[in-house]
Structure 1
């Protein structure tokens, strides 16, 4: 995707905002939970949903490794991940954006920030979620699991998103819903705003490094100027 010219007229540095998608902009965290639950059961593993939900937001490889015994037959891991993908895809028609998600992307874009989706989702899942958001006009780049060697909480996907929009970590803010999002941002020194709409409580998100916590996209949008994004907006060219 071609970059919008978000540099300042005097040649100043570009400011950017990175968004996780699952559980942050799209109401899908519990759909992932039940899809992993079903995939595990197909291979004979009865993993409680609450345990699974705790790890949603990690890459699938890390999630599987975190939840299953170390002495398992690891050759089945790829089958479990494929089953999760198929089960999740069966729920594509049910995906919905959170209230305010599109408006939040639009406001950040209109204010002069370069906007990127930094998702650990599979490329085809991300394409479906982007269509659900219906906000391509406000998104400058989007990265998926295909763009990262290591999944969250490793920061690779954020590095890829920053490179895609030509923004330095010091000039960015990240918005996510999972502990693993907060840890990935912390690894790069990027301020991380958390939303609780993915099902993780505010205290856990703050403990993981969130600088601020909001209920969801609408809550963040209504408090945008006083948020960490607002501090970026004060530097953006159109502010």
Structure 2
């Protein structure tokens, strides 16, 4: 099934990108750590990793605190973007990621990449995934002002497809994905590939948790993505 034929279905499958489809969460951790050090902030990588999945604004609040000056936030975020861009050619999709997108589309779902990354980062990931034949649209940081765990990104993804929360399922890897989906009224499937534990994802409200994209693919017909609403 192609995106054009899937337009007859209401169901929309939203896929987070970093840590869900592509193995990038620890690259983001490293490059945020480097960017922060460039601006005089030494932050444990473990603290940064816990915040990966949020937008840049919330991530910096999480690792540096909210009572600070925000004057250098844009410069730190730009430094992260520059450092992370050096890895574009090395980005590695998880085993089964592209096949998962195609199998989900084949079951009648419309596919949206729901990311708050920059447009450049989303484009780099799409190039590595090589699954544009089944991707209907994608979001980026340009589509929202409030990032995860706020529901705005999920709502923006639904708006792009003219869909309602009851039509959708989100697949993500962080508690921020699960919380964002929950606040938008969308169930979330959790994956462990971002470095978040099963217990944390379940406690945040994930309806089911799988080890990785390949495991979800193998269980596709026994879970929330088996059949889209029509």
TM-score, with length taken from structure 2: 0.95
2:178 pairs with 1:149: no
**Shift of residue 5 of structure 1?**
4.3
Distance 1:96 1:15 in 2: 28
| Equivalent of residue 156 in structure 2, options 133, 157, 160 | 160
1:137 aligns with 2:109: no
Deviation of residue 156 (structure 1)?
1.1
Contact 2:149 2:179 in 1 (8 A): yes
Residue of structure 1 equivalent to 2:75: 79
Task: Show CA shifts across 1:6-56 (max 9, x none).
Answer: 355xxxx61110000000001000000000000111111110001100000
Q: Which residue of 1 aligns with 2:37?
A: 41
Structure 1's consecutive aligned runs of 4 or more residues displaced over 6 angstroms after TM superposition are none
Distance in 2, Cα, partners of 1:187 & 1:198: 21
Whether 1:52 and 2:52 are equivalent positions in the alignment is: no
Counterpart secondary structure, 2:18: coil
- In structure 1, the gaps of 5 or more residues are none
State the distance in 2 between where 1:4 and 1:121 align: 26
Partner Cα distance (1:206, 1:69) in 2: 27
Displacement, 1:71? Answer: 4.1
Question: Partners of 1:188 and 1:156 in 2: how far apart?
Answer: 8
Report the Cα distance in structure 2 between the residues aligned to 1:147 and 1:213, rounded to whole angstroms. Answer: 28
Shift of the alpha carbon at 1:203?
0.4
Pairwise CA distance, 1:72:
3.0
Q: Secondary structure at the match of 1:17?
A: strand
The structural deviation recorded for 1:180 is 0.4
Supply the distance in 2 between the matched residues of 1:203 and 1:140 (Cα, whole angstroms).
32
SS at match of 2:6: coil
Match of 1:14 in 2: 10
SS at match of 1:219: helix
Q: Alignment partner of 2:72: what SS? A: helix
* SS across alignment from 1:52: helix
Alignment partner, residue 188 of structure 1: 184
Pairing 1:69-218 to 2, within 5 Å after superposition: 69-218=65-214
What is the aligned residue count?
Answer: 229
SS for the counterpart of 1:88 is: helix
Is the aligned partner of 1:4 residue 2:4? yes
> Which stretch shifts more, 125-134 or 161-170?
161-170
Q: TM-score, normalised by structure 1?
A: 0.92
Unaligned segments of structure 2, at least 5 residues: none
